[in-house]
Chain A
């Protein structure tokens, strides 16, 4: 049984329908990347899965349970966490407070988990009382991922984790994703740097105009001349 099975999702904002029946699955421990041109509905798909955008028809099954109509607070409790593309930290809160907010639904002592995050992202440990709003783009992205990891998720959804980062920073972020994945966390990524993301992905999906276009193993998509021409910039 797949860890996450989103089938024939229809969703959108107000009158506008963005997704016209998109299906995506993620298995335990996998990294899956969704690519596609701007406006194809990648971000909307993520928001529909985590409950920020209402799923009109279709189902989202996570660990065997239908979560399609649950509010976001209920979904994160089940081990599915999400990092939005932008505005993904609390700028007025300190680094440590951001991590505490990530653990909001935990009632146990999560101090150890914060220390683990500081080990994983040493940059954040330098001045944990620094406001998140004063961090650089790369550090902010690290903090956003760390915040989402506070609940020990089984599946982490990342929307454009490398947006606005330098190539060196992008590589660093993707490297961290591989390391975290090695500890058993599955990933569903939306990524502009499709080539780099597909390289570390088990599988990938190509979306176009709110519909599934292609899906295949990550390296197979990379080798596909049509995908290369249309979506990877030659």
Chain B
């Protein structure tokens, strides 16, 4: 019984090796084909990405919880150690902000008066959804994050993502429970911005570095280090006037911007829902979703 089986193995071994090599080559071809497919038919690959994103989001939420707890603990200890210095700093800051508040109140009233005088159209209403960052998929090739909120929470593709400090990026994929944020530092991110002081329009182009590049349509003008960069509202993705960053380096042909938001340390972000005036019928559902944590 053993002899024929041995003979059989001796016969099948070369075939097996050949078959394995064939499978390997076919799989390499398959990977290349997938890349071409992803380049050509983005809708199909996006759907597959959404499904996997939905599937792994709960697992990632679970895995990221201990790390988040440790980070919170470290911050608490840090807060206790620095309580005196922080208090002094905050007191000073509070005084400064109170002055600003007075200015802001006056300007707000003035603005409202001028608006009624001019009968100006009010800007679109903004509500937001707070979402936890559960995945950090940044590397040398992409800069994205995974949020534990999806279409079920009111998040949709294209919505801007911000924190209290400024712009983070925008949603590029949104599944039912999870969505992916393209950070403004990603190679594929193009953000229409304004230089706050000169009102000069520019595009903030990510290149996978920490400081995205400013590209100008016209002459860069007298751009200076420390100039504030805000969103321009062109292109309709971002509402105008959101803080983006400050000019960190000015070269001959390009300038680099340091984002206000520390993109490496994000725990919660806000996804903005832009309710355009025409769509105001949907506002109730928007607010209901916004209330959900």
Does chain A bind chain B? no
Residue numbers of B with Cβ under 8 A of A are none
Residue numbers of A with Cβ under 8 A of B are none
